[in-house]
Chains A and B, each alone.
Chain A
Amino acid sequence: MKKQLFKGNDAVVCGALLGGATHFFGYPITPASEIAHAAALYFTRAGRVFLQSESEVNAINMIYGAASAGARVMTASSGPGISLMAEGLSYLAGAELPCVVVDVQRAGPGLGNIWPEQGDYNMVVKGGGHGNYKNIVFAPNSVQEMCDFTYRAFEIADKYRMTVFILSDAYIGQMMEPVELPEKVSKTERKPWALYADRESRHNLITSIFMNTKLMGEHNWKLQEKYKEAEKILEFEELETEDAEVLFVAFGICSRICQTALYELRSSGIRAGLLRPKTLFPFPKQKLNELGERVSKIIVVELSNGQMADDVELSVRSRIPVLRYNWMGGEVPSTGEIVKRVKNDI
């Protein structure tokens, strides 16, 4: 298979359709709109369903319906839209319905602006809505991963009956890179819990309400066990960590900048390494704990007020210094800025 040049947001739609997606419900928002544009074209051409909803609230509830009916269903949005979906995401978790949500992050809070940020980390990784639930979260750092993670997300969502997030950012969504497309179309099988408007599935019930406190408690414990089980899908990438004295921890666009920075640092004699979580839930707690024994400093580079850094600190149990390099508002650091700061800090 030959590589083709794709935009990150377009690659999501390729990955989705080849990953067996049957439905897309969404509402336009910069910088995620190209996903809806491409879905409108390709889902329709492929005889799948694309529908522009009247709001993100309605979109996530259309997803709730289609997922109840066994569909492989998705949406794409950015921070303000994901905020609006919070209640629906909680319902999906409570009713154990699978779906895929792409968040191409922009700067916040409020209307913010359309430039890249990673300030949705807590909202997406910690759940976003009310109640004791989690989402599985993939963090692509290339156009190839925008395609691949979306492709795989549907199967994982079906397996765990969970929402799988693709937590991207405005740069990864907007950039173009060569992509190798998957060579097989993934398919969903009949789901024993879903409704198919037939006799076999008639007794199935999709709900998240348990008025009996004991039953509600049991349901919650069952969900927690499932989330524990989902920790198996943990993925991360290590770059030059074997002999690293300084460890970058970064995801998305920041991990790309750190990648360039670490080789510049190495060429001037500073042994830098990078741990890049590919999944943010599950989070590489154990790996960080191990690396915390070996490196002298950890530097968490984020386009936020240090939301992931909190998790990094927890993972290394604050035994070693965790420095926070943060940018917000759509500001993206240059490689040079990071290199200079590291040299200053060690």
Chain B
Amino acid sequence: MVKVKHAKPESFYKVYERKLTTKKVTHYCPGCGHGVAHKLIAEIIDELGIQDRVIFLSPVGCSVFAYYYFDVGNVQCSHGMAPAVGTGIARTLENSIVISYQGDGDLAGIGMSAIIHAANRGENMAVFFINNAIYGMTGGQMAPTTLLGQKTLTTPMGRSTNRDGNPIGMCELINSLTAPVFIERVSLANPARVIKARRAFKKALFNQVERKGFSFVEVLSPCPVNWKMSPLESRKWIINKLEPVFPVQNFRDIEEKPERYERVEMSDEELLNLFKIEKEMEIKPKTKKISDQHIKIAGFGGQGVMSAGVLLANCAIMEGLNSTWLPSYGPEMRGGTANASVIISENIIGSPVVDNPNVLIAMNAPSLDTFEDQVSPGGFIIVNSSLINRKVKREDVEVLYVPASEIAKDLGLITTANIVVLGVYMVKSRVLDTETLKQVIPISIKKKHLTEVNLKALQAGIDIFKEEAGAHI
């Protein structure tokens, strides 16, 4: 003789208030499958002794108020987003048992990206997907799992393939991913099926205790009110109509525990050191008066115009001056011309935008064409004469022609042309000390084995200016 035990799981609240100020507003309809699914989950929470650790995510849908029933940690989520919310929780609380309980509109409609990606990352959560082939809470509209021919408020003549597409099999979709550890479709159509469902529910939750990863249970569940059937008819409809389209079966049950990523939090002291440059430099006291430098360095991508600007700004800071660096950025950085604007001043710098540079360093012809006219009268232009054949047209500016690319090529590294021109600029302007740049280069340059050739390039720049100047004076 079989004994039927009627008991309320501990994980359910004792009382469901229907009166007075604490009155609950909605409740499940007669014959609905949520009650059975809720009870299975609550019983298993009791059995596994995880009530304190559970964080239950309620969706938008009929089960939005699951927290009226479950005496566990509860989070109500936006429509379809429970797997994303669960990701945030699971990645914060190592000890949590995250349960995402979602309907078919929520999970397979609006929340498709959230569920697929959470599954694909193998997030630690048990997902219970209540598939009743219809939108329940909003009154019976088509769901992604609505059957072909099934009449709903938004498919009054029945769902058609041509107009509405076909019902989506979520287990089949998720089974195409490698990360999930457990995937099963169950049915609540009769007691035998409920007992089988219970085993799947338990496995999905036990996997969370074991921290095995993403576990997915699809539950074919009755919605007699929106199906416009009696509770008994709705059970038959599951067996005769739903189950042939959504086969009840286990899709995956992986025994071995996947490798988990462990993180170790840094101490405060380590954090404070995290951003410090490896070798601190001495900031020199200001010794000389300088005029504001509005510098534009321009060339094509790969000529190091951005990093040349950063080196200048670093030198300025080292010499106790203020500096800003502003790049051209985004898609134009890919292959096109690029430019950096650097301002160096003794005063606080307002606008970092350089509209009228008093120094232009043009590394290629398009850069000279673009910026020549913008240079303020009395300013100077350094022209990379290796790549720019023409002369500067302006007569109210000073011009230095430097075969920077050729010099760099002779040194064995064409990309150091930017350092050659910096050497020229520094000697010419007398704003910054070349010795400062000699200290900055070894610290700033990421490829340390190139330090020496860059220092040589700097020296070459310094020397060539001296030659140029000698030739001119």
Contact = CB atoms under 8 A, between A and B. Distances in A.
A binds B: yes
A105 interface: no
A47 B275 CA distance: 15
Interface stretch (A194-202, A277-285, A314-322): A194-202
B293 to A, nearest CB: 15
Interface in B367-412: none
A335 B355 contact: yes
Interface stretch (B77-85, B357-365, B423-431): B77-85
A31 B327 CA distance: 12
Contacts of A212: 23, 25
Interface in A179-206: 181, 183-185, 195-199, 201-206
B91 A49 contact: yes
Interface residues of B, number: 71
A204 B353 contact: no
B114 A61 contact: yes
B271 A176 contact: no
Interface in B324-351: 324-327, 329-331, 349-351
Contact of B88 (A25, A54, A203, A260): A25
A199 B51 CA distance: 8
B322 A198 contact: no
Given A5-B325, A176-B313, A209-B76, A263 B330 contact: no
A175 B355 CA distance: 15
B74 interface: yes
A197 B88 contact: no
A106 to B, nearest CB: 9
Contacts of A59: 84
A70 interface: yes
Given A185-B272, A334-B353, A88 B73 contact: no
A195 B89 CA distance: 9
B355 A65 contact: no
Contacts of B313: 5, 176
Nearest to B263: A47
Nearest to A200: B52
B238 to A, nearest CB: 30
Interface in B73-129: 73-78, 81, 84-93, 95-97, 113-114, 117
A161 to B, nearest CB: 15
Interface in A16-73: 17-18, 22-23, 25, 30-31, 42, 44-49, 51, 53-55, 57-59, 61-71, 73
Interface of B: 23, 25-26, 51-55, 64-65, 67, 71-78, 81, 84-93, 95-97, 113-114, 117, 263-266, 268, 270-272, 274-277, 280-281, 283, 310, 313-314, 317, 322-327, 329-331, 349-353, 355-356
Interface of A: 2-5, 14, 17-18, 22-23, 25, 30-31, 42, 44-49, 51, 53-55, 57-59, 61-71, 73, 87-88, 91, 95, 114, 170-171, 174-178, 181, 183-185, 195-199, 201-209, 211-212, 253, 256-261, 263, 332, 334-336
Given A114-B329, A197-B55, A202-B51, 13 more contacts: A49-B92, A49-B263, A57-B113, A64-B85, A88-B78, A114-B331, A177-B323, A197-B54, A199-B52, A204-B73, A211-B25, A257-B353, A334-B355
* 10 residue pairs, one from A and one from B, having the closest CB atoms: A65-B88, A260-B350, A259-B350, A66-B88, A61-B84, A65-B85, A197-B96, A207-B76, A47-B265, A211-B25
